[in-house]
């Protein structure tokens, strides 16, 4: 007696975007499997973000729509909500931090634009941001002007905590929210060569590690060991 083997499943899926892809992020919602947000890289003001999702029956990615975005997105993140208990939000950075509300995976509308620079008509572009997985109301952004800002998105345009200034010699900044403890990790990448841990509860620097002077390499984006909660 012979046993029929199950049909072999396709293991590589390709989506051809109409432009160069710069930013992208996987959705973690259990009810939206294999969903991605991707951002364009066009050397002009008008850019866009598309939401694509794998059709598991057709074995291909389908375009579920998207929205126009000023300038390329420096980072894209879905809300870290695996259970789907919160609104289906997507965050982007570029000239400002923007939150987008995705309705039934079909239509997208701008929820809010967050700007902490109220004293000038010019904006300092945001180089990166991170979303706190333990408290999804908290987003930390980093600006090219070497500041980090902690936002409470439940209050929308009211910053949660003070702006965290980096030394004047610092360059691009990358920020990360520690997943176990609710604190912020800011990393300046260009001239300062520093890794800074900032305590949000005490509003003070917890630790600062600097590289040796040139010709040693600059710091590149880093990642935390999420399994280490110490």
Q: Is 102's pLDDT higher than 70?
A: yes
pLDDT at 76 over 60: yes
Percentage of the chain beyond pLDDT 90 is 43
pLDDT band at 62 (very low <50, low <70, confident <90, very high): very high
What local confidence, expressed as pLDDT, does residue 72 receive?
96
Taking all residues of the chain, what is their mean pLDDT, rounded to a whole number?
A: 78
**Fold of the domain spanning 21-184:** Methylamine Dehydrogenase; Chain H (2.130.10)
Return the top range by mean pLDDT from 90-99, 118-127, 211-220.
90-99
Let me know: does 187 contact 194? Beta carbons within 8 Å. Answer: yes
With a cut of 80, say whether residue 39 has pLDDT above it.
yes
pLDDT surpassing 50 at residue 94: yes
> What ranges do the domains of the chain cover?
21-184
The 8-class DSSP code of residue 191 comes to: S
**Range name among 1-5, 103-107, 184-188 with the lowest pLDDT average:** 184-188
Mean predicted confidence (pLDDT) in 72-91: 95
pLDDT tier at 85 (50, 70, 90 boundaries)? very high
The yes-or-no verdict on residue 229 having pLDDT over 80 is no
Count CB atoms within 10 A of the CB of residue 18: 8
Residue 116 vs residues 44, 71, 95, 123, 144: alpha-carbon distances, Å: 24, 19, 11, 9, 13
Distance, CA of 132 to CA of 162 (rounded, Å): 17
**Of 28 and 199, the one with more pLDDT:** 28
pTM, entire model? 0.79
pLDDT recorded at residue 122:
74
Average pLDDT over residues 83-99: 94
pLDDT exceeds 60 at position 13:
yes
Distances (CA, A) of 102 to 8, 82, 116: 34, 15, 24
pLDDT of 127 above 80: yes
Q: What is the pLDDT of residue 192?
A: 55
Question: What confidence tens digit (pLDDT) does each residue in 170-211 have?
Answer: 444 455 554 444 554 444 434 456 667 776 666 666 666 665
């Amino acid at each position: 007696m012979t046993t029929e083997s199950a049909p072999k499943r396709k293991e590589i899926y390709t989506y051809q975007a109409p432009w160069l892809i710069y930013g992208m992020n996987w959705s973690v919602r259990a009810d939206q499997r294999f969903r991605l947000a991707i951002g364009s890289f066009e050397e002009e003001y008008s850019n866009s973000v598309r939401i694509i999702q794998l059709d598991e029956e057709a074995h291909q990615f389908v375009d579920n729509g998207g929205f126009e975005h000023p300038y390329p997105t420096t980072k894209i993140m879905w809300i870290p909500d695996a259970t789907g208990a919160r609104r289906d939000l997507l965050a982007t950075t570029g000239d400002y931090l923007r939150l987008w509300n995705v309705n039934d995976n079909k239509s997208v509308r701008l929820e809010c634009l967050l700007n902490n620079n109220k004293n000038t008509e010019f904006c300092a572009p945001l180089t990166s941001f991170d979303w706190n997985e333990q408290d999804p109301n908290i987003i930390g952004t980093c600006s090219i002007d070497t500041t980090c800002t902690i936002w409470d998105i439940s209050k929308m345009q009211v910053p949660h905590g003070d702006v965290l200034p980096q030394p004047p010699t610092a360059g691009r900044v990358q920020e990360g929210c520690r997943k176990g403890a609710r604190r912020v990790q800011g990393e300046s990448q260009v001239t300062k060569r520093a890794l800074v841990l900032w305590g949000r509860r005490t509003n003070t620097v917890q630790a600062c590690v600097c590289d040796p002077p040139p010709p040693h390499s600059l710091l590149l984006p880093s990642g935390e060991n999420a399994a280490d909660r110490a």
